[in-house]
Structure 1
Amino acid sequence: MRARGAKRRPTAAGWLAAFGALTVLLAPLAAAPAQAAPACAPRDFASARYAVCSFDARRDDIRLYWADAQRKPYGSFAALAQDLAAHGRTLRFAMNGGMFGDDLAPVGLYIEDGKRRVRADTRAGPSNFHLLPNGVFWIGDGVAGVEETSRYLAAPPPTRFATQSGPMLVIDGRIHPKILPTGTSEKIRNGVCVRDGTTAIFAIAEEPVTFYDFALLFRDGLGCANALFLDGSVSSLYAPELGRDDELTPLGPMIGVSAPASP
């Protein structure tokens, strides 16, 4: 006989019912996805301002774009975005992807969808591109990298897309030997590096910087052992997260990240 006022010990069924009610209450919290970090963000480094965008080759569709199905160069982010939209995709990010000629054709190695469109150029010369060693930014299935050109050509990785540019900014953790701290030329510059074989990091200066300061951003600010200069003066960025759509001048090859368009 239970004494009056004594507390009843919960039965097993009672515990199960209480646990079920708690699970129902917590389910919406557990189901709510974590807010994804923005791909692009402002970055201050060594008294200069940059925009930095990061993408994971295992999850993000990183590609190179130059011309449409009729082999007409896109020339602008707007034209690329329009073409992607016609195929049910949304352009999330784009940046000029290497140097090009008056006809907007890539200068140096260019591979698109596994097909080599332009051969590598290994000549030395006075231009930034020919300030050896230059390098290659490449993208494979779930992997990516930046390698000095001669290394890339000696043992090509499994490449779907690749663009050659130059000079290398950082080589195995060292600043390019011809990029000196005494350099005075300042320009808007953009470049790329890859960390851990999967994370592609793109940076563009918001104000004119020297080659050396730009190289330091990649090595010391972004922790990249190898980094590649993409271009200067024509450096352009498409990043809706930052309200950026630079349509400064006709562009040759472009690096883009897209995703399926929302229904």
Structure 2
Amino acid sequence: MTTSILSAGEAEAACRKVMHLTQSYAVCSFDPAANDIGIFHRGRDGQPYGGFEPLIRDLRQEGEYLEFAMNGGMYERDLTSVGLLVTDGVECKAIDRGYSWGNFYLKPNGVFFLQGDRAGVLETEAYVDAAIKPDFATQSGPMLVIDGQLHSALLPKSDSLQIRNGVGVDQQGMAVFVLSMEPVRFHDFATLFRDQLGCANALFLDGSISSLFAPALARYDNTHPMGPIIAVTRKIPGS
């Protein structure tokens, strides 16, 4: 990732509140060619971070600030990822192409990845076929939008309403992170990515435990433990 120094004004501009179908969302967009976006899981002590505060402490020791963070995919009780996890080019857990119950296995699921100066979202089989060697990657599911089409299982009149978070990549290559600020259905969440945010591919990350660190929006969530964390960091000037 490119080392960046993101000013307070730029950080605020990156995050905004968006209305879609009468519901409100926090939307944060970052250029992977100009910002340090990474996926974090274990700290200096070898244990999963489990939250934003331990990550902030580790980053400070490395001369970096946390500018933005979001829980980055589903995880087991021990905070290990359910599916693929790659951090700093090292595969921590292999991709999961199996079948089971739950949102993760509502096929197709997919992968959010960072490779050099670009970000991407691909459904799992397309990701495998592309033989990508990412710097960072996290697998979750279901996919929300696949090549401009909504996932076929997302029902426009579903009565399942949850807080949800996800990620997409827009036409300019920006990584777009979204958290609903109120309970929403999958279908409405997906149409936000496709119709308003211009993301041809978007991936659901998680539901009711969704957490956000976005000072520009006065969000410093710490209610739920978490596994992988997607974060934007910057160097502390003079460090």
Both structures adopt the same fold (TM-score exceeding 0.5): yes
Moved over 3 A (4+): none
Deviation at 1:262, TM superposition (A): 3.5
Alignment RMSD (CA, Å): 1.4
Give 1:89's aligned residue: 64
TM-score (norm 2): 0.93
Unmatched tracts of structure 1, length 5 or more: 1-32
Deviations 1:39-59 (A, max 9, x none): 111111110000000000001
1:177 partnered with 2:152: yes
* Residue matched to 2:18: 43
Q: Residue 76 of structure 1 aligns with which residue?
A: 51
Cα deviation for residue 69 of structure 1 reads: 2.7
Q: Does the 8 Å contact 1:143/1:197 carry over to 2?
A: no
The answer on 1:52 being equivalent to 2:18 is no
Q: What is the correspondence of 1:194-209 to structure 2 with a 5 Å cutoff?
A: 194-196=169-171, 198-209=173-184
| Separation in structure 1 between the aligned mates of residue 124 and residue 109 of structure 2, nearest angstrom | 6
The 1-side partners of 2:24 and 2:172 are apart by 26
Residue 211 (1) aligns with residue 186 (2) = yes
Larger-gyration structure (1/2): 1
The yes-or-no answer on 1:145 pairing with 2:124 is: no
Look up the match of 1:30.
none
Partner of 2:105: 130
**Counterpart-to-counterpart distance in 2, 1:207 and 1:140:** 32
Q: Secondary structure at the match of 2:76?
A: coil
- Please list the CA deviations of residues 227-254 of structure 1 after superposition, one character each: whole Å capped at 9, or x if unmatched: 0000000001000111110001111000
Q: Which has the higher contact order (CA 8 A, sep 6+)?
A: 2
Query: Given the two structures, how large is their TM-score scaled by the length of structure 1?
Result: 0.85
Q: Is the 8 A contact 1:144 1:197 kept in 2?
A: no
Cα deviation 1:55-74 (Å, max 9, x = unaligned)? 00001000000001332111
| Structure 2 residue runs without a partner (length 5+) | 1-6
Correspondence 1:108-123 to 2 at 5 A: 108-123=83-98
Paired residue total: 230
Other structure's SS at 1:169 match: strand
Q: Distance in 2 between matches of 1:122 and 1:228?
A: 16
Asked if the contact 1:75–1:250 (Cα under 8 Å) also holds between the matched residues in 2, the reply is yes
